[in-house]
Structure 1
Amino acid sequence: MRRRLTILTAAISVLTASALALTGCTLKEGSSTAEPAAAATAAVAADVPSLEGKTVGVAAKDIVHDFSRIVYQSVQDRVTALGGKVVATQAEAKDDKHVADIENLIAQKPDAIIVILGDATTLAPVLQKVHDAGIPLFTIDNVSEYSVNNVTSDNWQIGSTLARTIAEDIGGKGRILVFNGFPGVAPCRIRYDELKLVLNDYPQIQLIQPELQDKYEGTVEDAKQQITDALTRYPKGDISAIWSCWDQPEIGAAQAVDAAGRSEIKIYGVDADKGALDLISDPTSSYTATIAQQNAAIGAGSADNVARYLGGQSDKVTPTTYFAPVLITKQNVSEKIAELGLGG
């Protein structure tokens, strides 16, 4: 993937989070990269062409958690705001249905198709079909050779920041239990790879084997049971932290850890789901930190790229559009919830 840094400012009525620019600062340095909401709203991309008379197909893997649900709605809202027609599907977290949904969109011959999430290997054949049909393909959190543009967070930054935060919080030594169930999903793969890369410099930290496998459905309860079982296998002192590439399993993990009174264990996830933020806001909870993504801006940004591409501005559409993530900890959770509009 060409990691060309492109920041797309998208201000629509449904955007409650201010657009953040990627800077040279790390997420750990504490300097706020957030623009005031008014400034973000004023930065409306006036050069985005209309989608009047255009139909955009939107195929989402699911709307199971906050990230996918908000992105899915934001894409549709922005296409509509630009005058376009939306044909939207969500596959209820079923890979075969996701493929079938995309095939159905191809048959309807829209002017463009946006695919949100999904396993790269599973989707590769159907994404090639989109390309072969001559329909411009755009993706969100799904790297594909057939995609004109992929909109995503900087998952390298997410992964390394979360890993460094864990390493520092546990004093550079200990054992981490990880959920690693989605190696075919690019953001999860990147975040996990960054975890291992960072830990190369922390020889006194080990990942516990075997790793746990999270599920996409019934995630919270399944993770809660897995961690409850793990706590019986690993007595106090054997687990320093629990890691996952997303918040849902960590919500269940925190519930299990808190119920067991294992206050020495710290929990870390990604997405800033409301359930995770509620736990991080609780000083007695083991949920220690999450990393927020700009969900609404990511969805709107993809729609804007479609409009630019179809409106004769393909030179303004880069292969990847990145949005900066934000580290949320127990120390800054109230501030960041207000700053990013995450209180709803």
Structure 2
Amino acid sequence: MPPSEPRRSGRDRSTSDHLDGRTAIGDPPSVDDVRRAAVRIASGVRRTPVMTCAALDELVGCRVHLKCEHLQRTGSFKIRGATNAVRSLDDEQARRGVAAHSSGNHAAALAFAARDRGIPCRVVMPADAPLSKREATAAYGAEIVLCEPTLEARESTLAEILERTGATEVHPYDDPRVIAGQGTAALELLADVPHLGAIVAPVSGGGLLSGTAIAAHGTDREIEVVGAEPAAVDDARRSLAGGRRTSEGNGDSIADGLLAVLSDRTFGVLRDRAIAIEAVTEEEIVEATWFVMERTKQVVEPSGATAVAALVAMGRRGEAPAADVGVILSGGNVDLDRLPPRTGRPARW
């Protein structure tokens, strides 16, 4: 499983002034930005399939529609936001390239998107990042710059690269171009299953969940959007419940793609749309991961299976949010050797 993006203490820098020449970089994208992103990235990403599973329907008590972003290029939804950001650059910005600090799915996605446009990409990674992740990102054409494994070192190293090269930073989630790109997964899901009453998506920094909420509510205000989060790192749930963004008291999780915290921008999107967050235990996440792999024959990472775990938890309480619910399986970059065994619960856990 790819390491998470680092926790943030505040709003991250951005070096671009406008989104599509229409939306200021400080503002969240609109549903029209998401729709334009869908057109812009169409040739660069896969339109992933939607699957169903009778055993999951029975377990939850509703019809579940799984949006298979684990089958996306580079193995996760991250390619959507990265591609939209890269393709939004003007020619001069593109000539100077893009940069980011990341040791997870965003690193590979940005490298892939930059190679697709034929522009430079530099990714700052901590020296202790798994060799497999460094090699995968380099294989897509990125220049890897190693630094000490601290957030301060990552940020300072990236700042030096941005100053030296004039590259545009593409943040993993605190960038409206990225949020708009991530929202295209929900647009596709709603086009394929237009009668959905709810969508469940995992939440970490909030780019995917924000984009999902913007796309869903821009299509139908009555669609319920639910975020799924490990209880061990439930800063999004606590932030939205308390009305202010917090990162206090977080621990660790098997869903290590969900360890980042909301930015001011993503928090505002979720707060303004009254998005609910369902927090689930580590045991529930592991069980959901194995359930999806055994019953659908699809390999997903725990971060993606967290959305399934959340829906199952709601279903067990008799609180399935709609008769037809979409679930975004966000990624499939899992190291099976690190996945804990099943706890011994039966299939109807």
What TM-score bracket applies, with the shorter chain setting the length?
Answer: 0.3 to 0.5
Q: TM-score, normalised by structure 2?
A: 0.35
- Which structure is larger by alpha-carbon Rg, 1 or 2? 1
Q: TM-score, normalised by structure 1?
A: 0.35
The answer to which structure has the higher helix fraction is: 2
